[in-house]
Structure 1
């Protein structure tokens, strides 16, 4: 089954603006927040793209916490806290949910995935119950490269019928692995999954059954070839020598 507008897990979000004292303070001063009223998501894949500092990760974090995920990532079963740095934005976010509930879910954020891997190792040392790492391929995520551990999670831990929030999943992936991730996303979409992905990767955001929300001063619904990521990458690859000469001018 493939999700549609009636069966998707999160239909959108609303910012409860009257709960915010000042849009001059962090994180409410970020473009991702201060221009937000309502945001609708694609029933299968939504990409949120934009320049560094626009607030993409902060927004995705708020959505994840509001849905019940650990701020540092993982499934809803993870309760550890390494560094309490998340914002209070989730308190001002209202999720517009569909009538179906996901049977699986994961919040993957590149910057704190190390902490998730460490927590899995610590919990498995207790010797109680089945080892958690078996759900990730059976090999400690710390015994793999950063990219291998990411991909092991995508392949082994994502079961389908799930809500998957990915924050810059390309951070540890080679271009070929990013293409493989597109294939894995498609497999999971066929198994009633919904993705919301914050990314800079022009490869990953090429997945066609999706919408792209480009964030500058406000949100704009754009086509893939209209994104700055695609246009800049294409310009660089098609005119590499010229672009390098421009970049290295004294």
Structure 2
């Protein structure tokens, strides 16, 4: 483990600002004070569109020093944007191992951030660079390119942040990513992943944090709303479609 809790010190957010975005987002508001524990090497954030998952994982990546555009730790920022409002205030409670990594030279800060929204541009730019992958991901399908990045960059004890990586993945490719994330968790790495995929969230031993109007709540995979909906839809799609068609 590298980080065991994420939080925002209340004194960093003025009372007048708490009625403004992003502090009005329930999962962001839940970070004020004691914040949220990360109890396992692999943690999934699961919730509906607009629940704040991407806002949260982007801020975690920024707080660790990863480029919000996407890329590996220790590299020069590609994004022209300043840190997000949440990212510049988010505090990571490091484990002793994580503190040694975070307090050392930037080049020793091992990790990677992949966000589906900017992944294709990042992959086209970074391919062939020193410390990245040699393969021509621009000549691959989206899914093949994503897997090439995962298998090249997600190696060894590091801090890996993903925002909806399932966007380009087939069922079989999703299973390959499940196996990789499980291996990382066993090998001393830490993963934080925002996802809509019940397949990815099924990594054995992972912590699942459900994001919603209630804020952030740890739950079991089998109790997730997305698991229940997918199971019922695959069994009887007409039960859903009759309300839409």
**What TM-score results when the alignment is normalised by the length of structure 1?**
0.86
Determine if the alignment matches structure 1 residue 168 to structure 2 residue 164: yes
CA 1:174–1:85: 2 relative to 1, 3 Å: farther
- Structure 2, unaligned stretches of length 5 or more? 102-107
d(CA) in 2 for partners of 1:157 and 1:169? 14
Deviates most, 181-190 or 170-179: 181-190
Structure 1 residue 204, shift from structure 2 partner: 0.5
d(CA) in 2 for partners of 1:241 and 1:85? 47
Of 7, 14, 20, 2:13 maps to 20
d(CA) in 2 for partners of 1:82 and 1:92? 19
Of 24, 45, 48, 2:45 maps to 48
Partner of 1:141: 137
Contact 1:50 1:56 in 2 (8 A): yes
Partner of 1:74: 71
Structure 1 residue 191, shift from structure 2 partner: 1.8
Structure 1 residue 98, shift from structure 2 partner: 0.6
Of 109, 115, 122, 2:115 maps to 109
Determine if the alignment matches structure 1 residue 35 to structure 2 residue 41: no
d(CA) in 2 for partners of 1:141 and 1:86? 28
Q: Secondary structure at the match of 1:92?
A: coil
Aligned residues: 231
Of 129, 132, 140, 2:130 maps to 132
**What TM-score results when the alignment is normalised by the length of structure 2?**
0.87
CA 1:54–1:85: 2 relative to 1, 3 Å: farther
Aligned CA RMSD, in angstroms, stands at 1.9
Partner of 2:240: 243
d(CA) in 1 for partners of 2:118 and 2:52? 17
Determine if the alignment matches structure 1 residue 58 to structure 2 residue 55: yes
Structure 1 residue 205, shift from structure 2 partner: 0.4
Deviates most, 147-156 or 78-87: 78-87
Structure 1 residue 212, shift from structure 2 partner: 0.8
Structure 1 residue 231, shift from structure 2 partner: 0.7
Contact 1:110 1:167 in 2 (8 A): yes
Of 211, 218, 221, 1:221 maps to 218
